[in-house]
Structure formats: C-alpha cells, structure tokens
Structure 1
Amino acid sequence: MSLTNSSSGAGAGAAQTPGGGAPAAIPGPAGLPVIGSLLDLRRDSLGAFLRAQREHGDVVRLEAGPPGLRSVFYAVFAPEGVQQILGTQAANFRKDHPLYEEVRQAFGNGLLTSQDDDYLRQRRLVQPLFTKRRVDGYATAVTTEADAVAARWRSAEEGVVDLVPEMNRLALRTVARILFGLDVEAAVAAIHHSAPVINDYVVRRAYAPLKVPRDWPTPRNLGNRRATAELNALCDRIIAERRAAAAGGEVSDHDDLLSLLAAAGNDEDGTLDATEVREQVLIFLLAGHETTATSMAFTLHLLARHPGEQTRIRAELSRVLGDRTPTAADLDRLPRLTRAFKESMRLYPAAPVVSRRAVEATEVAGFTLPAGADVVVAPWVTHRHPDLWEDPERFDPDRFAPEREAERHRYAWFPFGGGPRACIGQHFSMLESVLALATLLRSHELEAIDQDVPVAAGITLQATGPARVRLRAL
C-alpha cells in the first residue's frame, strides 16, 4: 500500500536511547527538498522500501509531503522487530492507521478491522467456522470451480490467457460459492462490478492529504456509495432469506459460510446480528478473494517461467493423484507444489505492507519508536532481506523444505501476518490454492509470454501489467 500520506504523531524522529542517554537518530532517506520521499513513494512504494532497507538498515524513518501536510512514519524490516509489532507486543501496535479506518467505513467492522472486545467476541463466534474439519469440507467447491477454468482454457483463443484476470475470476467464484452457496452467480456479478470501485476509493482516501467529506456529492463519493449499496443489498437479501426460512421452521440444506455465520452463537457472546453478519461476509470477500487470486496467479506465472520446476510438480501430481480429483486429504501429499506456492508468496506477498500505530514509545532494534507513531512492517522487504535469503530474487521452492524452514526465524516469512491477529483463513487459503493449482497444472502446461509482471501496492498487491502464458492442454 502506498504510504505517502499517513498521519502521525511521531514528532521529530530523534529516538531517545534507553536510560535517558543521548538521542539516537533513526536513519532514513533525505528525499527531496520540501516534499521529502513523496515522489518515490507515490511512484513505487515497494521499491522505495527496498532501497530504504538496503541503504539505511532495519529501522527506517520516512517523511513525505510538504510542510503542513507532511507525514512521518517508521518502517521495521528485521524479523525480530516484526515479531515485536505483530506478536509479542501486539497490544501496543493497534490498527488505528488511516487505511484501516477507511476499510472500516467501506466494509464494516469485521475481523480485519475490529479491535479490543469487539475483535475478541467476533473471533470467538467465527473461529468454529474455520476449523480444519470445516474448511476441508470446502474442497469440492474449489475443485468444481478450478475444473470449470481448465475446461474453458481448452477453448482459449490461440491458447493464450492472462493469469491475473483468470485467477481473479477463479478466486472470486470460489469464495462466492463458499460464502453464498446457490446464489453464486448473483454474488459474482455484484462483487465483480462493485469491489474494484470500493477498493480504489478506500486507497485514495486513506492516503489523501486532505479528505473530502463523504457526504459531498462528488463523482467518487457517489460512485462508492452506489457500489457499497449494491454489495450491502446483496448480502442483506440473502441473509434475510436464510433467517426467514429458519424462523419459518424450514430445514435448510445450506452449508455455505453465510448461513453458518447467521446461525453462529454461544452463551457468552450471543449471536451476530444482520449487520454484523454482513460485515463479516464483506471482509471475507475482501480478504479471501484478491489475496488468493494474487498468490495463485504469481505461482502459475513463476512456474511458467521455470519449466523444470513445473515438470517436477506435474510428476508429483501424477504420482499422488493419478486421474482422480484432488481432495483436502491430498494437501499434505503434495509437498513440491506446496513449496512452490510458499516461495511465490515469499516473492509476491498478497499483503506487501502492513500498518500499525504505536500506543506507547517502544524500543525496536536499539531505536525508540515514539508514542503515536505510524509503523509499517513489509513482507515485501523482509521476504527479500539478504541476511535471511540467499540470492533473494531467485525462485527456489526448496527454500521451504522442512529442514530449511526450521532454521529460519518465525517472522522471516509472514504472508499471513502473525501473533494474535494472524489470518483466521490461513488453512483455507492454502487448501484453496494448492487444490486449484493442482487441478490446473494437471490439465495444462504453461509457457510464459510476459517474463516480468509489474506490481504496485494497494489494499493488496496489484499486478499493473499482464501475466500472459501460452497453454498446452495435456
């Protein structure tokens, strides 16, 4: 996500050493006169963070914007610092960043954005829906949608497809089927139309130096209002239908996630009301659609660029699956494919930058981050840290062999976050991605046309150019 205009109460950025010694200035790029690092961050925030780490170290201070609108924030890149922020001292680093407030306004106060007692209550209510046993039951929905893509690819014009929209469509249809069950077609149409409008609106507002009030009738405000109303109406209609059927004594055969959310409850936390159910659904659509699509698209593209690895994975698929459809039980039987997927998430983490705000001054790697400071950790940078990864830009799935994983710091690789706010859908993401990739790689050989895919950071990692491959049906 671009971090050019995050607000901060960080002060002047000279950190006091513990014990009241002389201040130790947190290093960082000087940037341009007047505007600091604003242009670098706007043009290529991910590249700017990489350069900041290489040139200034693992705790960096950045400034962006003209006087009066200047933002100051701190980036932490070493895994030990990431562990403090996301894990051991997570209570001191809250989701109070402007981006999260905009996501709250757009999608509601679901698991991604809620905090404190609200978050704990929601987590307790939703957790039973994401047990391994429950998630494994969604395998058929995944392979059904992946089989449909494989069938469509057999008739692709000139045998060429762009993996970015293809995987976006696959992930969207899969999560819509799991969330909404039989209402998948209506859901896909509404989400495909509305989600990009809302996402663009959220990012622009989060990093705008001056925000136009939401109730002003500007074109962007009106467009976002229409898109939000469309998604809300879809969710509210289906929720009302499910609850009306239950109230009328109908025995429902729906086992989609929306129905389970509507029925979730316990003696301590009660139940989710209709608005809370909708907010959880919208967050799951956001978190479970674009992130998975990105991870699958880049895994296939990397394999298309590395035919030897693609051949080894296909041999594994043939040996383990034969002619049968993959199931949840196969997840642990496909280590080669799983390693390739993890290596893709290292190089192209779907959440490339994660934002927090410090409550109290905190020492990290010998520097003190001030109270009120906006702080970011960046999988995009840590996953390329030369002290952690040899030849970090090289695609090497064997980095994730069990013995090599065991040697690394827990937070050297954190595409699903970590600590008490780690992604609740991690197992679902792994299951969906590995089973869908297995289905597609077994049916087609892929050859890369575009060697490099440009990317940028929005709410999630965005491909800004095509990732075309030539297909050969097997």
Structure 2
Amino acid sequence: MPTVRIPGPPGLPLIGSMVDLARQPLQAMLAAQRDYGDVVRFAFGPPGLRGEIYAVFSPEGAHQVLAGQAANFRKESTLYEEVRSTVGNGLLTAQDADYQRQRRLIQPLFTRRRVDGYAGAVAVEAAALVERWSAVPGGVVEAVAEMSRFALRTVSRILFGADVEAAVDVVRGAFPVLGEYLLARSFSPLHAPRSWPTPANRRALAAQRELYRVCDGIIARRRAAGPGKAEGAGDLLGLLADARTEDGERLDATELRDQVLIFLLAGHETTATSLTFALHLLGRHPEVQRRARAEVGEVLGGRAPGVADVEQLSYLTMVLKESMRLYPAAGIFGRRAVEACEIGGHEIPAGADVMVSPWVTHRHPGHWPEPERFDPERFTPEREAARHRYAWYPFGGGPRACIGQYFSMLESVLALAALLQAFEFEAVDREVPIGQGLTLQAEGPVRVRLTPRSL
C-alpha cells in the first residue's frame, strides 16, 4: 500500500525546524498539532546532514508508543543518549538486562508502604519552608527558586539523610548547566565531540565532575562503614547500598552513583515544577484557593499534614493534577522506533526518533474543552474515568512509567497543604513565558505575594 508523506512544518530553507526545536520546542509542537494534525514530521539541520523527528500528539498515539507497542520504542533517542552520557546509566536511561536488574533491586524501595515512610522528610522540609517564608522581607517569594530549593532539599534528605547539606549546593549549580548543554546537543545534527575543549564541553565537564565528586564521597563513606552501619543507613542511599536481588546481586559504586544522580535529577526538578505552577495558579484563582484551603482546614484542623491525610485532600489533589495538565514537568520526551510501524494512519520508519508531548496532548482540543482554562473539576473521579487513559500522562506510562510518581504526588500534596495552612497567595506575575530544558522551565520570574494566616 503506498504511503502518504507525513506532514510537517517546512522550517527554514537551510536548517529546517532546527531553531524552533532548539529554542521553543513546546510552542513549535503545539503549532504543529494545530496546523498538521496528530502525527507530524519535523526536519532539521542543513541539507546532507538533515535529521528527522516524528511527533505524536494524540492520546491513542501516546499509548501506542509508551505502552501498547513499548517494546518497539526504545530509550535510544538522541536526548536519552546524551543524558546517559552525562548522568549515567540509571533507571531512567538503562535498557534491557541492565534495566531489568536495576528495577528488581530498586522497586522494593518504592512500594507505597516504603514511600509513606519518606513523608517524615517532606514534613521536616515543609515546616522549614513555612518558617523561612514567614520571615521573607516584603512578603514576595520567587516560586521557581524556592520550590527548586525545597524539592532538592527534600529528595536529598531522603537520599542522603545526615549528608543532606553536602549535596544541595553542588546539585543546584550543576543541573542547570547540564540541562542546557544536553538540550542543545539533542536538537542539533552538528555538535563537537565531548572530548573537544570547547567552552560548552568544559562547562559541562566541570559540572559533571562536581556531581560525581560529591556523590562518590558520600557513597564511599557509606560503603566503608559496612552494610546497615553507616549513619543514615535507613535513608534511600543506605537502602540502595544494602539492596540485594534473590541471587545476591547488588549495585556497585558506579551503579549507585548513577541511580543517585537520576533520583536527584528526576526527583527534584519534576516536583519543583509541579509545585511552582500549582502556587502560581492558586495565586491567580482565589476562588480555587479558598476552596482548597477550606478542605485543608477541615481535614487538618490546624495540625501539620501527614501521610494519612493525603487521601482526604481530594480537592487539593485535583488542583495539583490540573496544574500538572497545564504545566507537565516532562513537556516532551522521546523514543526510537526499532521497526517500521503505523501510528494514526501514518508509517513511521525503522530507526526514527519519535517524540510524544504531554504539553500538547494535555491541550488536545478533542479531549480537553477550553484547554487553556484552569479547572480542577476536570479531575473528579467520574470525569477521569470517562477520559482516555493517555489524555493525561505527566509521569509517562507503560512499563517505563516513572517509578517515583506516587512519591511525587505525596510530596506535592503535603507541601501544598502546609503552605495553604500558613499563607494566602497572590500571583504577582500573571503571565509566565515557558521553555523546555530537561524539564519544563519558566523563562521569567514566578513571583507570589504571601499573606500570613493566623491559625
């Protein structure tokens, strides 16, 4: 059967869509869905070196890529190769036997019962955040920096326990440098080998070495103390270091570092993004904020939130899910097709880079009426049940869905409850320009004015 060429934007004559994909990938993909449909071909780079990306935007297509035919879509896209080369072969990037072995070792540390035990670390950092904000001069905070700090301290406390302070400053400095570097390399058909001493390579190498130095030092101290004996051995790093498969296998020091770096990356940037935009949207919609605060007051009665309260905070959870619909931390992610296949009536060639985009799918007009409107009522149980499973997928899906999604929701709900209990919010910046790094990025300030509440 003859195939029809997949439509897509023409881009510029010499470089195609390279500039749009590198500088404004979210906007480029949203416009492409509007103009060309649910399967779009992007060409980028100069003639003779031109690359192609196939973007899939429908929930049905996302399901096919992530779940229905997951074995045919591997984490071998250019972006994943770059991440793997920079932060290691951890659970996010590993493949085949490596992935299966890591999953067997790590899955027991992310059961619901185990994750509930991490709520204490969330409570400590949430209380410290409330105290910190109570003393802010002028009562205005910049949510991106504050939520990044909170989420990083929380995941570092869970990972490192008593060593939390040793990692935070290095991670805060290194990840933005590496994120910009990886994205630039992923959407360009031409980039210098990593061994060349270009300014970008040197900056990225310096950031990588600092991350390795801190993580290797903490891991070495734990390993030297022996199984279960180091201070903080009950934290996630201690549990990872002691973990064994049924055959007695364990993670070696390099594998431990790879897992720690992936957890630091995925475990703080995603949650920070969700919390930043939840605060922004609550600050723009006082009626939603009032309802969420009323629920928090009814459930908590003035006490600090705990893990047992999360299921009772149903409206607050709806607020968070709607915030994650509009601002999914992973706005775009990719796979590589092993064999040729058909998606939405279009043939995808073998070896093609395939991108799915929660940013676009979460705004798909066929599944989300008035998609830009903030409406937590979209996430009532009845409306969720009636909707396609992959109309909302901020944590991915299928066999490679995020292992930490329950923890991320737990942390975010507990943190929002503590903040709503202590403050009223008003958004200072009504509109926030958005970009895409390794995760969704605010390209301007996200300031929130705080009014302390008397309990």
Q: Which band: TM-score by shorter chain?
A: over 0.9
Correspondences of 1:258-407 after superposition (within 5 Å): 258-268=237-247, 270-407=249-386
- Structure 1 pair 253/234, CA: closer, same or farther in 2 (3 Å)? closer
| Residue 182 in structure 1 maps to residue 162 in structure 2 | yes
What is the CA–CA distance in structure 2 between the aligned matches of 1:253 and 1:357, rounded to whole Å? 40
What is the CA–CA distance in structure 1 between the aligned matches of 2:79 and 2:195, rounded to whole Å? 19
Correspondences of 1:5-404 after superposition (within 5 Å): 21-246=1-226, 250=229, 254-268=233-247, 270-404=249-383
- Structure 1 pair 377/251, CA: closer, same or farther in 2 (3 Å)? closer
1:244 Cα deviation from its structure 2 partner: 1.5
Letter paired with 2:142? D
Moved more, 142-151 or 380-389: 142-151
1:253 Cα deviation from its structure 2 partner: 5.2
Letter paired with 1:282? L
1:41 Cα deviation from its structure 2 partner: 2.7
Letter paired with 2:266? A
Moved more, 219-228 or 318-327: 219-228
Gaps of 5+ in 1: 1-20
1:250 Cα deviation from its structure 2 partner: 4.0
What is the CA–CA distance in structure 1 between the aligned matches of 2:136 and 2:273, rounded to whole Å? 21
- Structure 1 pair 216/35, CA: closer, same or farther in 2 (3 Å)? closer
Contact map agreement 1:94 1:357 (CA 8 A) in 2: yes
Aligned residue for 1:23, secondary structure, equals: coil
What is the CA–CA distance in structure 2 between the aligned matches of 1:259 and 1:267, rounded to whole Å? 18
Moved more, 59-68 or 433-442: 59-68
Contact map agreement 2:232 2:238 (CA 8 A) in 1: no
1:252 Cα deviation from its structure 2 partner: 5.3
- Structure 1 pair 253/225, CA: closer, same or farther in 2 (3 Å)? closer
1:251 Cα deviation from its structure 2 partner: 7.0
Aligned residue for 2:226, secondary structure, equals: helix
- Structure 1 pair 250/48, CA: closer, same or farther in 2 (3 Å)? closer
Contact map agreement 1:170 1:293 (CA 8 A) in 2: yes
What is the CA–CA distance in structure 2 between the aligned matches of 1:346 and 1:202, rounded to whole Å? 25
Aligned residue for 1:357, secondary structure, equals: strand
- Structure 1 pair 193/251, CA: closer, same or farther in 2 (3 Å)? closer
- Structure 1 pair 33/193, CA: closer, same or farther in 2 (3 Å)? closer
Aligned residue for 1:299, secondary structure, equals: helix
| Residue 411 in structure 1 maps to residue 393 in structure 2 | no
What is the CA–CA distance in structure 1 between the aligned matches of 2:149 and 2:68, rounded to whole Å? 38
Moved more, 171-180 or 63-72: 63-72
Residue 18 of structure 1 aligns with which residue? none
Gaps of 5+ in 2: none
- Structure 1 pair 102/310, CA: closer, same or farther in 2 (3 Å)? same
* CA displacement, residues 288-332 of structure 1 (integer Å, 9 cap, x when unaligned): 011110000000100000000000000000000012111111111
What is the CA–CA distance in structure 1 between the aligned matches of 2:266 and 2:113, rounded to whole Å? 21
1:215 Cα deviation from its structure 2 partner: 1.9
1:54 Cα deviation from its structure 2 partner: 1.1
- Structure 1 pair 155/251, CA: closer, same or farther in 2 (3 Å)? closer
Letter paired with 1:316? E
What is the CA–CA distance in structure 2 between the aligned matches of 1:405 and 1:279, rounded to whole Å? 36
Letter paired with 2:290? T
Matched residues, percent identical? 62
* CA displacement, residues 62-97 of structure 1 (integer Å, 9 cap, x when unaligned): 112221232211111111111110001011011111
* CA displacement, residues 176-204 of structure 1 (integer Å, 9 cap, x when unaligned): 11110011111112212222222222222
1:460 Cα deviation from its structure 2 partner: 0.6
Aligned residue for 1:24, secondary structure, equals: coil
- Structure 1 pair 274/381, CA: closer, same or farther in 2 (3 Å)? same
Moved more, 111-120 or 140-149: 140-149
Once superposed, which parts of structure 1, at least 4 consecutive aligned residues long, lie more than 6 Å away?
none
Letter paired with 1:53? Q
Contact map agreement 2:358 2:393 (CA 8 A) in 1: yes
* CA displacement, residues 253-275 of structure 1 (integer Å, 9 cap, x when unaligned): 53111111000112336110111
- State TM-score, norm by structure 1: 0.93
Contact map agreement 2:16 2:44 (CA 8 A) in 1: yes
